[in-house]
Structure 1
Amino acid sequence: MHEVFENVVRFEETDAQGIVFYGNYATFQDETFTAFMEAIGYPYSEIEEHGWDVHVVNLELNYRKPAEFRDTLHNAMRVTAIKESSIEFAYECRNDAGELLVEGTVVHVAVDESGAPTRVPDEFREAVAAFQDEPPEPV
């Protein structure tokens, strides 16, 4: 898994218990996705120029340990599978001590300009395989 996004917990991201509000991890995961896309040479801001886009269709997060105000979070992501039109990602968030705080998955579906599912482009598949130490599951 590649760490691609680091953030420091802001006060506004904590709740009444003084820990990161669970819903904020969806935002952290999304920021990690954006950083992952940049790291493999597919900046999300330019993906539509390649004739496709992605929509999130599933997100699962499992909370293992809380983070608090001013903690530094290390967010990592990798593609676990690329199917015909879907891309499955694994996500992890750890603290400075390397302790696992949150882990989960997110599934994106590739869509064309009309919003209909489309095949994940071969160039994207190749970029993922070149970036990751462990390739995604074969289709």
Structure 2
Amino acid sequence: MAEYYDVFENRVRFAETDMQGIVFYGNYVTFQDETFNAFLRKFDYGYDTFEARGWDVHVVHVDLDYHASAEFDDVLVNAMRAETIGTKSLTFAYRARRKADDALLASGHVTYVAVDTETGEPCRVPDDFREALLKFQETPPEMK
């Protein structure tokens, strides 16, 4: 299996828990989004680079499986890897683990579509992004 990159740690805040005292499931989508941003920063291709090059990404699909519960004050280690890069789309695999015992809490995928910032229409994922990602990620994503 291709490697994941631990790129984002967060401590569960009280506001992120539900009446059962565990992290509300929807918060993992926020954690997933923060992980994507941190992943981009790891290879120096953040949102400011998207904007400077005239493109952006929009989320079109998210799936998450929940394996164990996290509670208030747990530290989560969030990891990501690029799984596939299509002509106009990007799919990243995500996982969250509890730092204290390495228990897998959630795993899944997020798919983005590249869009032209001027027109808002789907566009080709730029070659410089592909190249930067390939230099960073040891196991290359599948290119479609």
Is 1:108 aligned to residue 76 of structure 2? no
Supply the AA of the counterpart residue of 1:105.
Answer: H
Letter in 2 for 1:101: L
Residues in 2 aligned to 1:28 and 1:45: alpha-carbon distance in whole angstroms: 20
The TM-score normalised by the length of structure 1 is 0.97
- TM-score (norm. length: structure 2): 0.94
1: CA distance between counterparts of 2:119 and 2:103? 42
Find the aligned partners of 2:84 and 2:138 in 1 and give their Cα distance: 14
Q: Distance in 2 between matches of 1:133 and 1:72?
A: 26
Q: Give the Cα separation in 1 of the matches to 2:127 and 2:48.
A: 19
Deviation at 1:46, TM superposition (A): 3.5
Whole-angstrom CA distance in 1 between matches of 2:39 and 2:114: 16
CA distance in structure 2 between the aligned counterparts of 1:92 and 1:107, rounded to whole angstroms: 14
Residues 6-21 of structure 1 mapped to structure 2, 5 A cutoff? 6-21=9-24
**CA separation in 2, counterparts of 1:11 and 1:38?**
27
- Residue aligned with 1:78, SS: strand
| Percent of aligned pairs sharing the same letter | 57
State yes or no: 1:39 paired with 2:36.
Answer: no
**1:1-139 equivalent positions in 2, closer than 5 A:** 1-96=4-99, 97-112=101-116, 113-139=118-144
Counterpart secondary structure, 2:80:
strand
Q: Work out the number of aligned pairs and report it.
A: 139
- Tell me how far apart the structure 1 counterparts of residues 37 and 122 of structure 2 sit (CA, whole Å): 20
Deviations 1:28-81 (CA, angstroms, capped at 9, x unpaired): 000001111111111113311111000000000100000000000000011100
CA RMSD of superposed structures (Å): 0.8
CA distance in 2, matches of 1:108, 1:67: 27
The 3-state SS of whatever aligns with 1:36 is helix
Structure 2: 5+ residue stretches without partners: none
